[in-house]
Amino acid sequence: MTKAKILIVEDDRIVAKDIENTLKNLGFSVSSIVSSGEEAINKVKKKSPDLVLMDIVLKGEMDGIEAAKQIKERFHIPVVYLTAYADKKLLERVKITEPFGYIVKPFEERELHTTIEIALYKHKAGEERKELITELKEALSKVKTLSGLLPICANCKKIRDDKGYWNQIEVYIRDHSEADFSHSICPECAKKLYPEFYKGD
């Protein structure tokens, strides 16, 4: 089984190294360690990790929340916040980005492992659901059904369409459904049109 690749976004080198060692012990692969939101976005673009572990307070102009928002919108990669901050105002901003997890430092190894596994599972399930919805929409767009009253000529059996034109029944059905036609002759018409083939009857 392929190891999940994780990008660590943390501006404290010692903490970042500790997180890297923990992740490796848990069986994950660390794709990169960066210290700013701008770097995080660039690394996601280049390396396409499976998940981003994001600190909130970072070096540079962009904090972790803004970086997470852009990563979600542009690359659809799950983000788990790993931060020492948990005040109410910050949590309100965090919620808007719809993260896949939020862990307050210092963290337990078991908590980190569980949160990452659940985040990866939820993301995979969500992507599969999106694919299924897309497939269903495509299938539905191809389905045409006939319904309602169809004006049909009692003599020649032509059908009048919604523009007032009279069409052969097979033309009308072909244009308003997924049905196709092959032509043959029923026994009754064959007797009428080709009686020589039925002399012995």
Length of the chain: 201
Three-state DSSP string of 103-172 = EECCCCHHHHHHHHHHHHHHHHHHHHHHHHHHHHHHHHHHCCCCCCCCCECCCCCCEECCCCCEECHHHH
pTM over the 0.75 mark:
no
Query: Counting Cβ atoms within 10 Å, is residue 64 exposed (0-12), middle (13-18) or buried (19+)?
Result: buried
Residue 168 reports pLDDT greater than 70? yes
Domain map of the chain by residue range?
5-140, 159-198
How far is residue 127's CA from residue 147's CA, in Å, rounded to a whole number? Answer: 35
Q: Tokens 């459904």 correspond to what residue?
A: 177
54-80: per-residue pLDDT in tens? 999 898 889 999 999 999 999 999 999
5-140 topology per CATH: Rossmann fold (3.40.50)
Specify whether the CB–CB gap between 142 and 178 falls below 8 A: yes
Residue 200 reports pLDDT greater than 60? no
How far is residue 120's CA from residue 199's CA, in Å, rounded to a whole number? Answer: 76
31-52: per-residue pLDDT in tens? 999 999 999 999 999 999 999 9
122-157: per-residue pLDDT in tens? 999 999 999 989 888 877 766 556 666 778 887 888
